[in-house]
Structure 1
């Protein structure tokens, strides 16, 4: 096992990784921006280095500064968390070329899955179901119109280099497509430096189900169950649960097998997620994308399978066997994660500010992965996620009951927050039934 680890991230995920590192006796090194100097992940690390001002491009995405910090602190490995540089293949290559251990999949796998069109084509060749769509980028608006006419409306217009719910739009007819195509292409060029656009079938009523995979050091790829991620706003997740209430044993077998094939197709190593769209009417599922990193929602898998995914990541990177028996994986109970964001609970617009009160809920089956404490400031420079409230129980009903109590007990004042939304969701009949889809939030508003 490695002896020192630099965490190239911030907030709750940096704190989460540091917690596991210290439990394993690994020296944990934090890098931080000037704006984050007082956050818990900085003070809890064994060593911390400021890598630049608040602007992520000058700090958390500053490759030279992060590598300099690794060198000056004697770090052996770098864990990128999620976001920022976590799916940057060039960064992964640079880390390894510098003689450091990269805690993540190989750069080739990141590259292969980073382009959504290339990923679709690879998955189709591997026998993984993909939604009807273009096999090459729509070179211009005329090509997009022709593709949509062949696929059939409505269609999703997507940035080929995008991810995380960004760079997407829905077109129900040609007029809407002309607007969305220009909008998505401009956004993609600005955000990702690549204006390539993918056109694929859009399913008005669909569920978002993903599979946690882990590529082991011995070359095997295993699946640690699925997560339901259909409670979303602006195509970004708010709630995740495992197992999915929409997935039958027969469907679970099919979707997990497809996810393993997806990982094997790119010789995947370390933790990753295969995201799928599920048509609840037909029980058909389609490959959406592969996230070549640890997911925000990994705790629900940890609770249901009794594993520490960060520890497993470190073991894979060190060439060690997992702590569990890959041939005897079995889920236990049900887990739900709520993303506590600094945003208003109606329109979900950011509402940063000074945290005047922060009292986390406790009790059986309650876990909080937080990035802040009372007195900290949630700044506008980064994602609005403040904490993840995760609950588990023997059944989904018990997990929901614990979630209700935990939401009510979470005392948070200062920044705007979405706890009132979760209190509403946990009483919503559609959510309680388990028969919901990605439109549930819009139907609640």
Structure 2
């Protein structure tokens, strides 16, 4: 006990002189630390699964199959009339697998699915059946796994270039091994697969006879360079069907899956190419479009499959060349010469932008009563008239030969002499010695 300055006494105990005890860790602090460790462990586990899981690892870093030289294309499914139902698998460089399919050098259709698609999607099987019913051919579906194992579009989109290059290499393998000719190949692609088809054509330097793009994807392809997307120079003839081709700056992915630009030699815009009546109230497009595609986006392959069953003699899917959808609705667009059809029967000679209407319910192909499937252009009409005249002259000549042969009348000799005389007179030689000889011979004959 002590006093300071004569004031009140201040007592300092021994306990007060000791340092304060440590503050115990609260339960909240422990749980917070435990949560961080849990999150880190969980994140590491997710990364490990993504990288080391067999299916996802091949998606992230490409194919790990030592027998498959391709990065993204796993294999190819082949159907023929000999094996129309069960697909036979082919891979690059496998001559034994190729021999087992009884693959022959004939018309061959290559089908490439799009984003989140599969090589055995329902629409691909329907397209395969329609093609095999139409003609004796090979149908090959490309199995590129990167299109069906993730929901990240921007990770998939740059890979279509490699997919197209790998399909092009596979076609070269078929050419060297099975004798397949380039002119026998028709590549058909939907959405991202349409641009992959374009890269197939680029790999083969534009020598493919035909590429068909079914509502090519728009996201990341708007205003892109021709070297980075489907282009009319990728094949001898490139036809494109647009069914969901609109573009909005703020909602270009939510609103529109297709591209709003002309890409091919012949671009078809059914119902304006933005929205399809089959996908509106009262339409049955939702049941026709399979495999989870957007209705408007998927109607491109639905319409194409239906077009295969029609012959060019009908006017189903007949399209008119127009500067705009408004002009088409005003009925100010002619039928066209030659007549152009959307879909399988598209005429490679007719280039431009074409419009047509389709039905709300299947069958979707409408007849164009104002246009004739057999319409001829003025040049064709003149050509037919000249051909008819030549045919008449040929028949007349044959008749003269028969008359001379069976009746002994020197008709052809007289005709030749008369023509020769007229030719001499025309050239001012009518008074030449040879002319007098011919005249004297003529007098003797008479």
TM-score scaled by structure 1?
Answer: 0.24
Write 1 or 2 for the structure with the bigger share of strand. Answer: 1
Considering Cα pairs closer than 8 Å and 6+ residues apart, tell me whether 1 or 2 has the greater RCO.
Answer: 1
Write 1 or 2 for the structure with the bigger share of helix. Answer: 2
